[in-house]
Structure 1
Amino acid sequence: MPVTDVITDTDNLTMTVIADLAAPVERVWNAYTDPQQLERFWGPPGWPATFTKWDHTVGGRADYTMNGPRGEKASGTWEFLEIDGPRTFTVLDAFADEDGNPNPDLPSMRMTFTFAPSETGTRMVNTSYFASLEALEQVVAMGAVEGTKLAMSQLDAVLQDLRDYAQGKGTNVELLDDMHVRITRLVEGPRELVWRAHNEPELMQQWLLGPDGWEMTECIVAAEVGQSYRNSWAPVGDTEGQPFGFEGEALLIDAPRRSVTTERMIGMPIETLNDLNLYEEDGATLITLFIEYPDKETRDMILATGMADGMETSYARLERELLTV
């Protein structure tokens, strides 16, 4: 995770984020000044940002909305006050409605980003200046420190070529906090086909099988928000194990980029929130599954079942059976 420190200074009314990044200054500058790249890490996992306006000039504006997993929205706007590329830029940052109109009931702040060479590549320092102690405390209470750390944890994948970042690493599991896990897997194939493989029963039944020796006996897809899905598996032949399945509801569908569902093992009360995101670069697709568990104990119990190993077997089968055809 690139963030090395987040400092709240109540005397000077500032919050400072310091990050050490393994990329040259020019590359980091590009990530912060290209809205398509910025969208990939400005919002924390589960709240990806979409920039609807981008005028990167002094006096220009940028408008964005972060989209929560249950349909929630949180919008903001930047007014560019100073730009001195690739070293620094300053914005007036404000909470806003979806049309970009600042919300007078929430605090605004002046934010300065600086980028300087370091031994590892670039040190990024982002300092937010608040008008009052109450404004600083309000933003911190809204989860700004934790959200910033989680958002910045996505930046490494943006700064590197996608294959350099993920190829050959298999199914990677990251524990983000007690309740959240991020699972990533790069597959060689276009996003459109990877999306279809996750949403069309005849394709799902060819690869979404976990360890060898199992078959999918039931595959009901939720094609629209609010619909329910149900998937079941059973052992084949001499394979040991008991049939099982999962069910849940679709909360968000944004084909072919993102889907959010609830998930419960059939017959069990435990529910997780699964946020699937697909990003394509140069013919390869990064699958990112962000999972929210009800508590740490449930997280650890489920991960201990060997879930990641079963996912890796399925992803390898996906590449072998569908993406290389």
Structure 2
Amino acid sequence: MPVIDVTHDPDTFTLTITAEFAAPRERVWQIYADARQLERIWGPPSHPATFVEHDLTPGTLCTYYMTGPDGERFGGWWRITAVDAPNSFAFDDGFADADLNPVASMPVSKNVYTFTEHDGVTRAVYTGTYTDAESLQKVLDMGMVEGATSAINQIDELLAAER
């Protein structure tokens, strides 16, 4: 399992997940840069993602939905704020309605994903910062840790299929 640590801090409103992958940093980066690959790992296995718009360019709005086992769709969006390929990217992440429009009443997190490589192993640190402790707690109660962990753990399967 690639996820090696999960922490959440109600004082700083952060959720941080750390994972390690037996692959070069550039290969892990490519998973996030390519919408079709990202769809294979964004969202837990029970809720696969479909990216409608995806481009890792600052200012771009990316939209997607996850489909549950019963066919119900759950929308989301990213606003890309910074990119330093293949080292990191930053984005605001929020919930969307059925037409993929942002839902103002739901939490938005400011995310920074960083990738560092040492001896052929890539360490990914995924940090999301919320506006307040209530927003962080809301996503924790929704199962964010379990969902994100199971989603990230799918990366190993994707990489293993290439070996």
Q: TM-score range by the shorter chain?
A: over 0.9
Q: Per the alignment, in what secondary structure is the counterpart of residue 153 of structure 1?
A: helix
Q: Which residue of structure 2 lines up, in the alignment, with residue 26 of structure 1?
A: 26
Tell me the matched-pair count: 163
Distance 2:124 2:85 in 1: 13
Distance 2:67 2:136 in 1: 24
Return the letter of the residue paired with 2:42.
W
Q: Which residue of structure 1 lines up, in the alignment, with residue 116 of structure 2?
A: 116
Q: Per the alignment, in what secondary structure is the counterpart of residue 80 of structure 2?
A: strand
Alpha-carbon deviation of 1:163? 5.9
Distance 1:23 1:32 in 2: 14
Q: Per the alignment, in what secondary structure is the counterpart of residue 150 of structure 2?
A: helix
Q: Which residue of structure 2 lines up, in the alignment, with residue 255 of structure 1?
A: none
Alpha-carbon deviation of 1:73? 1.4
Query: Which structure is higher in RCO with an 8 Å CA cutoff and minimum separation 6?
Result: 2
Distance 2:9 2:23 in 1: 28
Q: Give yes or no for the alignment of 1:158 onto 2:158.
A: yes
Distance 1:98 1:46 in 2: 19
Using structure 1 for the length normalisation, give the TM-score.
0.49
Distance 2:152 2:115 in 1: 15
Distance 1:117 1:163 in 2: 19
Distance 1:80 1:107 in 2: 17
Q: Per the alignment, in what secondary structure is the counterpart of residue 71 of structure 1?
A: coil
Distance 1:144 1:96 in 2: 16
Q: Per the alignment, in what secondary structure is the counterpart of residue 57 of structure 1?
A: coil
Give me the identity figure in percent: 44
Q: Which residue of structure 2 lines up, in the alignment, with residue 46 of structure 1?
A: 46
User: Given that residues 15 and 127 in structure 1 are in contact (C-alpha distance below 8 angstroms), is that contact kept between their aligned partners in structure 2?
Assistant: yes
State the Cα deviation string for residues 239-298 of structure 1 (Å, max 9, x = none): xxxxxxxxxxxxxxxxxxxxxxxxxxxxxxxxxxxxxxxxxxxxxxxxxxxxxxxxxxxx
Q: Which of structure 1's runs of 4+ aligned residues deviate more than 4 A?
A: none
Return the letter of the residue paired with 1:158.
L
State the Cα deviation string for residues 202-239 of structure 1 (Å, max 9, x = none): xxxxxxxxxxxxxxxxxxxxxxxxxxxxxxxxxxxxxx
State the Cα deviation string for residues 111-138 of structure 1 (Å, max 9, x = none): 1000001345100001001100000000
Cα 1:25–1:163 shift into 2, 3 Å: closer
Task: Within 5 Å, give how 1:288-307 maps onto structure 2.
Answer: none
Distance 2:55 2:26 in 1: 19
Alpha-carbon deviation of 1:98? 3.0
Cα RMSD for the two superposed structures: 1.2
Return the letter of the residue paired with 2:30.
N
State the Cα deviation string for residues 63-111 of structure 1 (Å, max 9, x = none): 0100000122111000000001000100010100132211111100101
Return the letter of the residue paired with 1:33.
A
Q: Which residue of structure 1 lines up, in the alignment, with residue 77 of structure 2?
A: 77
Return the letter of the residue paired with 1:12.
T
Residue ranges of structure 2 left out of the alignment (5+ in a row):
none
User: Given that residues 33 and 55 in structure 2 are in contact (C-alpha distance below 8 angstroms), is that contact kept between their aligned partners in structure 1?
Assistant: no
State the Cα deviation string for residues 144-196 of structure 1 (Å, max 9, x = none): 00111111221112223x263xxxxxxxxxxxxxxxxxxxxxxxxxxxxxxxx
Return the letter of the residue paired with 1:97.
D
